[in-house]
Chain A
Amino acid sequence: MAATVTEQILDRAHNAAVSMDERGLVTYWNPSAASMFGIRRDEAIGRPVADLIIPPRLRSAHRAGLERFLAEGVGPILDQRIEIVAQRADGTELPVEMTISALRDGSSWTFHAFVQDISARKTAEHEHERLVEELRQALRGSDRRFDAIVGSLSDAVTIRDREHRFVYANRAALAHLGFDSWAQLRRTPPAEIMADYEVWGEDGREITMDEIPSVRILRGEAAEPLLIRTVDRRSGDQRWNLLKASPLLSASGEVEATITIIEDVTEPKRAERRAAFLAQASEVLASSLDYQKTLRNVAALAVPDIVDWCAVDLLDEDGDRVSVAVAHTDPDRIRLAEQLRSYEPAQLDPERGLGLVLRTGEPQLYPEIRDEALVQSAVDDRHLELLRAVGLRSAALVPMRIGRRILGAMTLVSAESGRVLDQSDVVLAEQVAARAAVAIENSRLYSERSSIAHTLQQSLLPEQLPEIPGYELASVYIPAFESSEVGGDFYDAWEVDGSWMLTIGDVTGKGVQAAALTSLVRHTMRAVSEFVSSPAEILARVDSTLKDQRPRSICTAMCVRLEQSRATLAVGGHPLPLYITPGEVSEVGEYGPLLGGFPDVHWDDVALELAPNSTLVAYTDGVTDAIGADGMRYGLARLRQTLAECCQWRSADDVIQGLTDALGEFQVGAHADDTAVLVIRRRSPVALAPQQETAEVDRTDAVAASP
């Protein structure tokens, strides 16, 4: 050991450095060794290492090891860290960590040892062991089977000390944390374990170490059970765990450790989330006939609970694919998807992905989408960049179909969550897709039917009310909300030999039959009016026509004939029209029986003069039967009130507007029944003059003014 520089360094080393020769005698002893063992350098040099620092019980092993090395060249403990017990000058022992190297010095060996006092560490470890043992004792109580019981619990149980190091983990906990053995877990710092997982709260927020119940307890806070969703960054495995922690108190009442029970609620939680999703999706799908909107809402429901992305594509009449919905919680990512779409060919590949699903109607599951697959499908670098940016990990595509007819497909994609989709995701998606398909089909059928109904209904009403000299006409028809069927209310107005016929009525029933009946009534009236001028007689003819019908067909109707200022009217089971003059509203006409209902019936005409500025309002019972808050019906009294207000010096159109506004305000919900209103307003001669009406009109009014 002539290397004085080396010795100088070693003299200042924190660790004890001891060298010995082949005989086991000390050749070097640094100051740290002196203080560690309580033996000065001059006392140590030349003396056997064994006598100085090795406890008596280990000395023979030391000598045997040295001899074997010298004889056979085998040194199993050389050049590695070993933990061993050493002895001080006063005979007390201390745990040390030591590394021994053997160096050839000329023809003989020298041995150099670096020794570190690890008694502090050992104390802590002992403390730890003691705690574990105490905990076990405490937990075990009188029952000695603690580990047997807790160890085999399916819930993961961990105990951590005040530094949040693991003191205990049962088998389930080890498996849960991804460790093979207790020793392996103990070597790994808690933060490192956490780093392998993304941890989310139930509300979708990321959970930090500080929020973990056991950590909160150590901070002296109360800790409610915490439901967390973890995604293993390595495997993409997603789990739901319920963490429940409670403190272990020392005799003095301080928190000595925490016990955490980790309950794996993944299956029930997934089932719950899925059931909730399915229920919400079903509700959304049934909520509206606007299927494009409902599909967008369903897609939005699926993220991020079920998947990261949800997309819906439909096939249009030409079999072309139309994107209806792309949902993700992050709008930036949706823009990414839109950019991606521009790379997709107009014609989908019928052998792959969406094209395959839309062609075959078979679901497709891609549990692991590897980068090679992206590289393969990318058309250029930018495309590949986008594909990678989306970070596709896993995808499930299911068809939406009615029988064998494929309406479209629903695509679930897992990306940043790292989740691997499996067969259960396919099953869930199929359930939603089946409901969606029915909703789409219903909605398409409904719009078709309701457009037929609308066309039919329009054909049953006059396209345009005629211009009647001296009068203003206006009408409204509001079909019942609930059905796409043709309703039974009708009105009409036509000219016969210089006089005008107007009618309003209600055919009982719905749909095509009601439409046919309405048509029959209107055309009978028009035809009969060519020969018969009395409204009562016209009703009688309609009545007998209806009585020829099978099954029983009934109708209520009011028919009025206008000849200049004179109105002649008859009513068959229909609400009497209201005659409104400034200051007065009265029912006019006389009730006769409804049409088609009873044998041996007749109707009477009632005639009246219509004063200038007077208004005749005929309506169907949809008006008076309209239901308001508390189930009240609109009724005749309200109708009279409303008309008294809105007939004051206003046009026929204004009256219709005023009445529909009042009805809309009164009514709760949509119209339960068809509603029709016909307004006949006699013009004022004064008001006519500036409007450049014909001379004929002026003459008519002149006659009316002097009956």
Chain B
Amino acid sequence: MVRPTKFEMSQTSSGSSLTLSIAGELDMQTIEVLAARVDQNRKQQFTSLTLDLGELAFMDSSGLKYLIELNDRSQSEAWRLKLIRPRHAAAATVLRVTGADTFLPFEREAGP
């Protein structure tokens, strides 16, 4: 039996900027929830998407892959992706170990 993953997401928008704040775990199952929300909002043609991973506790390789794909997509669709670093060590480690924290568009430490 697979344990249900703890996952929460909230959404705020200002003009054409959208912020999705994620808390909990990003893995193969919860990615689908996030992806569906992003796709749904893409129809409103946001020009900037901020994924706030501040409360992200855990991320596996499928979560990471999604972030990379989202970054690819922002470039091909010409919108801006901003990522906010997770504060939890486990999630931060995955980003550091894989080099994602260097190569993906994370905000500077201080944040906006």
Chain A residues close to B by CB (< 8 Å): 481-482, 488, 506, 508-509, 551-552, 554, 556, 573-575, 591-594, 597-599, 601, 621, 625, 627, 631, 633, 668-670, 672-673
Given A482-B2, A621-B60, A631-B3: A554 touches B103 (CB 8 Å cut-off)? no
Q: B100–A597 contact, CB under 8 A?
A: yes
Chain B residues lying within 8 Å of A599, measured Cβ to Cβ, are 103
Chain B residues close to A by CB (< 8 Å): 1-3, 6, 58, 60-62, 64-65, 68-69, 72, 90, 96-100, 102-103
Nearest chain B CB to A175 CB, angstrom units: 54
Nearest chain B CB to A75 CB, angstrom units: 91
Candidates A574, A601, A670; contact of B97 at CB < 8 Å: A574
Chain A residues lying within 8 Å of B60, measured Cβ to Cβ, are 621, 625, 673
- Secondary structure at the B interface, as helix, strand, loop or mixed, is helix
Given A506-B61, A625-B60, A633-B90: A669 touches B1 (CB 8 Å cut-off)? yes
Q: A508–B62 contact, CB under 8 A?
A: yes
Chain A residues lying within 8 Å of B68, measured Cβ to Cβ, are 552, 554, 597-598
Q: Which residue of A lies closest to B103 (CB)?
A: A598
- Secondary structure at the A interface, as helix, strand, loop or mixed, is loop
Given A508-B62, A552-B69, A673-B60: A593 touches B103 (CB 8 Å cut-off)? yes
The 19 listed contacts between A and B (C-beta, < 8 Å) are A506-B61, A554-B65, A554-B68, A573-B97, A573-B100, A574-B97, A593-B100, A593-B102, A593-B103, A597-B64, A597-B103, A598-B100, A598-B103, A601-B99, A627-B3, A631-B3, A631-B6, A633-B58, A672-B2
Q: B61–A508 contact, CB under 8 A?
A: yes
Cα distance, A100 to B64, chains bound together (Å): 111
Cα distance, A415 to B13, chains bound together (Å): 70
Cα distance, A50 to B6, chains bound together (Å): 105
Cα distance, A575 to B65, chains bound together (Å): 16
Cα distance, A592 to B61, chains bound together (Å): 15
Chain B residues lying within 8 Å of A508, measured Cβ to Cβ, are 61-62, 64-65
Q: B3–A593 contact, CB under 8 A?
A: no
Q: B98–A594 contact, CB under 8 A?
A: yes
Cα distance, A673 to B27, chains bound together (Å): 10
Q: B58–A594 contact, CB under 8 A?
A: no
Q: B3–A601 contact, CB under 8 A?
A: no
Given A506-B61, A625-B60: A594 touches B99 (CB 8 Å cut-off)? yes
Q: B99–A592 contact, CB under 8 A?
A: yes
Chain B residues lying within 8 Å of A621, measured Cβ to Cβ, are 60-61
Question: Which 6 pairs across A and B sit closest by C-beta, in order of nearness?
Answer: A593-B99, A573-B98, A598-B103, A594-B98, A669-B1, A508-B65
Q: Which residue of B lies closest to A631 (CB)?
A: B3
Nearest chain A CB to B17 CB, angstrom units: 25
Give me 5 other A-B pairs in contact (C-beta within 8 A), A508-B62, A669-B1, A670-B1 excluded.
Answer: A482-B2, A508-B61, A573-B99, A591-B97, A672-B2
Chain B residues lying within 8 Å of A669, measured Cβ to Cβ, are 1-3
Which one of A593, A621, A633 has the highest number of Cβ atoms from chain B below 10 Å of its Cβ? A593
Which one of A482, A508, A551 has the highest number of Cβ atoms from chain B below 10 Å of its Cβ? A508
Cα distance, A508 to B90, chains bound together (Å): 19
Chain A residues lying within 8 Å of B96, measured Cβ to Cβ, are 591
Q: A575–B97 contact, CB under 8 A?
A: yes
Q: Which residue of B lies closest to A488 (CB)?
A: B61
Chain B residues lying within 8 Å of A509, measured Cβ to Cβ, are 62, 65
Q: B97–A552 contact, CB under 8 A?
A: no
Nearest chain B CB to A281 CB, angstrom units: 22
Q: B64–A672 contact, CB under 8 A?
A: no
Q: A552–B72 contact, CB under 8 A?
A: yes
Q: A556–B61 contact, CB under 8 A?
A: yes
Given A597-B100, A601-B103: A672 touches B61 (CB 8 Å cut-off)? no
Nearest chain A CB to B103 CB, angstrom units: 4
Q: Which residue of B lies closest to A551 (CB)?
A: B69
Cα distance, A450 to B16, chains bound together (Å): 47
Chain B residues lying within 8 Å of A633, measured Cβ to Cβ, are 58, 90
Cα distance, A594 to B102, chains bound together (Å): 11
Chain B residues lying within 8 Å of A668, measured Cβ to Cβ, are 3
Q: Which residue of B lies closest to A592 (CB)?
A: B99
Chain A residues lying within 8 Å of B58, measured Cβ to Cβ, are 625, 633
Chain B residues lying within 8 Å of A631, measured Cβ to Cβ, are 3, 6
Which one of A481, A488, A625, A627 has the highest number of Cβ atoms from chain B below 10 Å of its Cβ? A625
Q: Which residue of B lies closest to A591 (CB)?
A: B97
Q: Which residue of A lies closest to B72 (CB)?
A: A552
Nearest chain A CB to B24 CB, angstrom units: 11
Q: A552–B65 contact, CB under 8 A?
A: yes
Cα distance, A668 to B102, chains bound together (Å): 35
Given A508-B65, A597-B68: A672 touches B3 (CB 8 Å cut-off)? yes
Q: Which residue of B lies closest to A507 (CB)?
A: B61
Q: Which residue of A lies closest to B65 (CB)?
A: A508
Cα distance, A672 to B60, chains bound together (Å): 12
Chain A residues lying within 8 Å of B99, measured Cβ to Cβ, are 573, 591-594, 597-598, 601
Chain A residues lying within 8 Å of B65, measured Cβ to Cβ, are 508-509, 552, 554
Which one of B58, B61, B65 has the highest number of Cβ atoms from chain A below 10 Å of its Cβ? B61
Cα distance, A673 to B58, chains bound together (Å): 14
Cα distance, A503 to B99, chains bound together (Å): 19
Q: B64–A594 contact, CB under 8 A?
A: yes
Q: A597–B2 contact, CB under 8 A?
A: no
Cα distance, A591 to B93, chains bound together (Å): 11
Cα distance, A551 to B66, chains bound together (Å): 12
Chain B residues lying within 8 Å of A506, measured Cβ to Cβ, are 61
Nearest chain A CB to B38 CB, angstrom units: 16
Nearest chain A CB to B91 CB, angstrom units: 12
Chain B residues lying within 8 Å of A594, measured Cβ to Cβ, are 64, 98-100
Q: Which residue of A lies closest to B97 (CB)?
A: A591
Q: Which residue of B lies closest to A628 (CB)?
A: B3
Cα distance, A584 to B99, chains bound together (Å): 27
Cα distance, A427 to B68, chains bound together (Å): 54
Given A506-B61, A673-B60: A597 touches B3 (CB 8 Å cut-off)? no
Cα distance, A633 to B58, chains bound together (Å): 10
Chain B residues lying within 8 Å of A601, measured Cβ to Cβ, are 99, 103
Chain B residues lying within 8 Å of A556, measured Cβ to Cβ, are 61, 98
Cα distance, A631 to B103, chains bound together (Å): 31
Q: Which residue of B lies closest to A671 (CB)?
A: B2
Chain B residues lying within 8 Å of A575, measured Cβ to Cβ, are 97
Cα distance, A506 to B65, chains bound together (Å): 12
Chain A residues lying within 8 Å of B61, measured Cβ to Cβ, are 488, 506, 508, 554, 556, 621
Cα distance, A625 to B58, chains bound together (Å): 9
Cα distance, A309 to B58, chains bound together (Å): 53
Q: Which residue of B lies closest to A593 (CB)?
A: B99
Nearest chain A CB to B95 CB, angstrom units: 10
Cα distance, A419 to B5, chains bound together (Å): 50
Nearest chain A CB to B105 CB, angstrom units: 12
Nearest chain A CB to B4 CB, angstrom units: 10
Cα distance, A625 to B59, chains bound together (Å): 10
